[in-house]
């Protein structure tokens, strides 16, 4: 075979390869464009799906919020709760448990009437007296509780207490105060303290000469 024929054959094969390579590159370009378009479509659909899901969650949250707040009563035009606070000074009382419900109500009745629903918090500003809720009818209950306190927390020279600088009843009064505590929370319903039928507020005086006692009463609600 002559050299010219071989060159012609080689050129023909090379041209065919170039044509194939060109077609392959064109196909690859179209394929790349196809996948780019497909990715854009998928991404767009994903955004729509995510947005739809987020909107659904938001809608459900809104529905839940409406359901949970539909029964609430607003406190004022802005829907904010009301607040009231008063410090009541109770006159000096003898040692023992004393029913003070009527005294407290008399001091706060005008403020209490403003609340349809709320909480009244009573805080005693002393460490040798206490507040508690108990029997409001039979005075023997108060006497018996005082007896129990004195039997439970001994006093006098035989008692093991170190803190006696203010008298034998000093440290026992602190222990009794912590036993019952210095604060109460009472629900307010329709402008009144929602106590049970036989419940009353007690001031327990644990000193022989305790003096006047101050109670800070804070009311909040709607």
- Distance from chain centroid for Cα 154: 40
> What integer pLDDT is reported at residue 41 of this predicted model?
63
> What integer pLDDT is reported at residue 70 of this predicted model?
31
> What integer pLDDT is reported at residue 18 of this predicted model?
73
CA gap 170, 151 in Å, rounded: 15
> What integer pLDDT is reported at residue 206 of this predicted model?
98
Angle at 154 between CA 156 and CA 185, to 5 degrees: 125
Ordered mean pLDDT values, 10 residues apiece, the chain (222 residues): 69 74 68 66 57 47 39 51 96 98 97 96 98 97 98 93 93 98 98 97 97 98 96
> What integer pLDDT is reported at residue 54 of this predicted model?
47
Tokens describing residue 220: 């909040």
Q: What is the DSSP string of 88-138?
A: EEEPP--SEEEE-HHHHHHHHHHHHTT-SEEEEEEEE--SSEEEEEEESS-
The sign of the torsion formed by the CA atoms of 184, 190, 196, 197 equals positive
Do the beta carbons of residue 124 and residue 173 sit within 8 Å?
no
How big is the chain, counted in residues? 222
SS3 76: coil
Q: pTM for this one?
A: 0.65
Question: Across-strand partners of 117?
Answer: 189
| Burial profile 177-191: b = 16 or more Cβ within 10 angstroms, e = fewer | beebebebebebeee
> What integer pLDDT is reported at residue 219 of this predicted model?
97
User: Rounded to the nearest 10 degrees, how much is the dihedral formed by the CA atoms of 88, 91, 94, 98?
Assistant: -40
Secondary structure letter of residue 210 according to DSSP: -
Question: Across-strand partners of 98?
Answer: 203
> What integer pLDDT is reported at residue 61 of this predicted model?
46
Question: Across-strand partners of 121?
Answer: 185, 218
> What integer pLDDT is reported at residue 203 of this predicted model?
98
């Amino acid at each position: 075979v002559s050299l010219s024929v071989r060159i012609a054959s080689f050129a023909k094969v090379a041209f065919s390869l170039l044509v194939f390579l060109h077609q392959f590159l064109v196909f690859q370009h179209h394929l790349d464009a196809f996948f780019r378009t497909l990715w854009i479509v998928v991404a767009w659909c994903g955004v729509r799906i995510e947005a739809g899901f987020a909107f659904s969650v938001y809608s459900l949250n809104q529905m839940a919020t409406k359901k949970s707040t539909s029964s609430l009563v607003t406190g004022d035009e802005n829907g904010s709760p009301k607040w009231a606070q008063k410090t009541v000074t109770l006159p000096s009382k003898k040692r023992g448990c004393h029913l003070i419900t009527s005294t407290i109500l008399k001091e706060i009745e005008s403020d209490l009437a403003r609340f349809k629903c709320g909480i009244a918090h009573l805080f005693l500003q002393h460490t040798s007296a206490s507040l508690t809720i108990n029997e409001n009818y039979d005075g023997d209950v108060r006497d018996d509780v005082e007896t129990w306190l004195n039997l439970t927390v001994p006093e006098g020279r035989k008692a093991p207490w170190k803190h006696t600088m203010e008298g034998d009843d000093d440290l026992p009064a602190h222990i009794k105060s912590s036993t019952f505590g210095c604060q109460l929370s009472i629900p307010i319903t329709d402008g009144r303290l929602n106590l049970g039928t036989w419940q009353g507020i007690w001031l327990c005086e644990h000193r022989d000469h305790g003096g006047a006692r101050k109670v800070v009463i804070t009311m909040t609600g709607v």
